[in-house]
A and B are shown apart, each in its own frame.
Chain A
Amino acid sequence: MYSDYLSLIVEVSVTVYVFLLGLPILVNQIFLPEDLRRMSKKNYAANLISQVLALTVLLLAIILVAYPRTLFWLIPFDAGQIPGREKLITALFFAMLSLTLVFLYIHLVRSQGYRAKVVHIIKKKLIASYQRTGKLDPAYLDDMEYLGIYSKGGAETRIVIQALEELQKKLKIDSTPGPDNDALILLIEILCNSVANSTESGSRSNMIEVLAIYKDILMELKMLSTEENPLIQGNETLKIKDCTYKIALASLKKDYSDMMPRVLSVLSLIPGSSDKLFDIGLLALDKKQFQVATNVLSEMMDRDNLDGVIMNNYFGMIAHFYFSGDAARFCARRSLESNKVEVTEKALSDARNYHYNLCNFPTVDLIEKLDATDLSGG
């Protein structure tokens, strides 16, 4: 009878122990989404070892008390000590059972909001690596990007964006001439990928949030720019320009046209962004979103230094407007008039050549059809 009780305790303890070993896998399978399971460049579950260790010690203690002679060649307990042994093994067993339940509870709780916790851990590790080496650990950065791309649009992506925003605040922009701010460039790209290249449908508010971060970065770059070191013309700005364009395209495809003032507001801070404005304007015209296209046409001429490239892109847009119906034609005429733009054969020829070199053939054909005299009101 006594021996049966010990055997039962040992058997149940071993079962509990084996169950615990499989617990993380079980919890992962049941509660964690696939993207979190697959994201594994770094280990975010270090405390599992201590849990397994604690239960291993308890299991060994149970076996030691149950079979001191058989397994460990120790002196068996006296008959008089048997009640004490029973109590001890029962206590050990319940300790093990309680600990297992505690660990199970911890795992279940951890699986709720696990994404936010992992993002928080990655953010802390990235900040630590940046403070230590001046660079961002690429493995953690990859994990963050993975989470940004594969998390569901909306609240899940927002967690990643907020973490990246906090990280951006910690990054110091190096205003010494020469090297790029690589960490910042990477961060700009990950933000873009999270909202514009995500496998899930991007959320409008997240796109706006990312554009707001870009605007903050641009404002800082502009304020730090000097004549000797025009930071605003650096690769960081170039990356923001590309990313803003990608976000604009993604937003137009999803019919978030009301985001456009924000897009234009970001592009207006970027020197030489008329090419992207042109592309956005074309897409808007193609999708019959004339409100956006008109905003783009107006924004294109809102530059203190109107150079040849801006004028070429402007004439390209005018050509597309001109052949998009009577009302759009009227709008093109009004734009030329209010901006006091003189349309000459040379200006049109320059614009034609410019777009030909960029292989914008439909634009080239439309400019070809424009009549300078007619446009000048002659």
Chain B
Amino acid sequence: MNSYKVLWIEDDADSDLYHLASPVYIEGNYHLDIASSASEAFFYLNERRYDVIIVDIRIPPGKNPDWLSRYEELQRNSNANSSRLGLELLRRIFGENGNQPSLKVSQNLSVVRYGVFTVERLEELRADLSELNLTSLKYKRKNAMMPHTALLEFIQEISRGIPNGVG
């Protein structure tokens, strides 16, 4: 089978955004896993290999004590950024300011496999993404008017950019 394995890190996927997942399932070329928190994303990234990884910026910490304490720490320092754990996840995957990644995930660290699908505007994220050298990361903004195929189209856009297809 040559299907793409896709991880969608999104806490609203089983409620408001449920309809976005269906076109991906029915399309047939993508096998979708959904992580609803940073802890779940951490687990999936260590457990399985994905071809495409879609990250939401605002995600809850989940039950992992490490992520919980990081969330609390961010809350103490700055309330506005406390729920931006998707960014923190990217920081751990890719490493910040040339540092080695602190999260030892078994994923291919090619930026082309990752996409950010969030309600935040790109301008709000630009500074953080350039810190991580991820300015070339694919980005799509969630909004109330988006069609149900928005996620599928975004996955297709990312998968087209992977040099050797399914890896």
Residues of A bordering B, CB below 8 Å: 169, 208, 212, 215-216, 219, 222-223, 258-262, 265, 268, 291, 294-295, 297-299, 301-302, 331, 334-335, 337-340
Q: Pick the contact of B26 from A215, A259, A265, A298 — CB < 8 Å?
A: A298
A294 & B22 in contact (Cβ 8 Å cutoff) = yes
As a 0/1 sequence over residues 90 to 125 of chain B, the CB contacts with chain A under 8 angstroms (1 = contact) are 000000000000000000000000000000000000
Given contacts A291-B22, A295-B22, A340-B1, whether A219 and B40 have CB atoms under 8 Å apart is yes
Task: List residues of chain A with CB within 8 A of the CB of B5.
Answer: 302
Rounded to whole angstroms, the CA-CA distance of A115 and B25 in the bound complex is 43
B14 & A339 in contact (Cβ 8 Å cutoff) = no
Which residue, of A169, A331, A334, A338, has the highest number of chain B Cβ atoms within 10 A? A338
A258 & B18 in contact (Cβ 8 Å cutoff) = yes
B26 & A331 in contact (Cβ 8 Å cutoff) = yes
Rounded to whole angstroms, the CA-CA distance of A212 and B62 in the bound complex is 9
The stretch among B29-37, B76-84, B139-147, B155-163 that forms the contact with chain A is B29-37
A295 smallest CB distance to B (angstroms): 5
What 8 A-B pairs are tightest by C-beta distance, nearest first? A338-B28, A302-B31, A258-B18, A298-B25, A262-B14, A295-B25, A219-B43, A294-B26
**Extra 6 A-B pairs, beta carbons < 8 Å, given A338-B3, A338-B29:** A216-B39, A222-B43, A262-B36, A298-B25, A298-B26, A340-B1
Task: List residues of chain A with CB within 8 A of the CB of B36.
Answer: 212, 262, 265
Q: Pick the contact of A216 from B22, B27, B63 — CB < 8 Å?
A: B63
| A-B pairs with beta carbons under 8 A, tally | 68
Rounded to whole angstroms, the CA-CA distance of A291 and B36 in the bound complex is 20
Task: List residues of chain A with CB within 8 A of the CB of B164.
Answer: none
Task: List residues of chain A with CB within 8 A of the CB of B47.
Answer: 222
Does B150 reach chain A (CB closer than 8 Å)? no
Given contacts A219-B43, A339-B3, A340-B2, whether A261 and B28 have CB atoms under 8 Å apart is no
Task: List residues of chain B with CB within 8 A of the CB of A262.
Answer: 14, 34, 36
B25 & A339 in contact (Cβ 8 Å cutoff) = no
Task: List residues of chain A with CB within 8 A of the CB of B25.
Answer: 294-295, 297-299
B14 & A259 in contact (Cβ 8 Å cutoff) = yes
Task: List residues of chain A with CB within 8 A of the CB of B29.
Answer: 338
A9 smallest CB distance to B (angstroms): 60
A334 & B18 in contact (Cβ 8 Å cutoff) = no
Given contacts A219-B43, A301-B1, A339-B28, whether A295 and B14 have CB atoms under 8 Å apart is no
A261 & B34 in contact (Cβ 8 Å cutoff) = yes
- Considering the complex, give the chain B residue whose CB is closest to the CB of A336: B28
- Considering the complex, give the chain A residue whose CB is closest to the CB of B43: A219
Which residue, of B2, B25, B39, B40, has the highest number of chain A Cβ atoms within 10 A? B25
B33 & A268 in contact (Cβ 8 Å cutoff) = yes
As a 0/1 sequence over residues 32 to 57 of chain B, the CB contacts with chain A under 8 angstroms (1 = contact) are 11101001100100010000000000
Which residue, of B3, B14, B40, has the highest number of chain A Cβ atoms within 10 A? B14
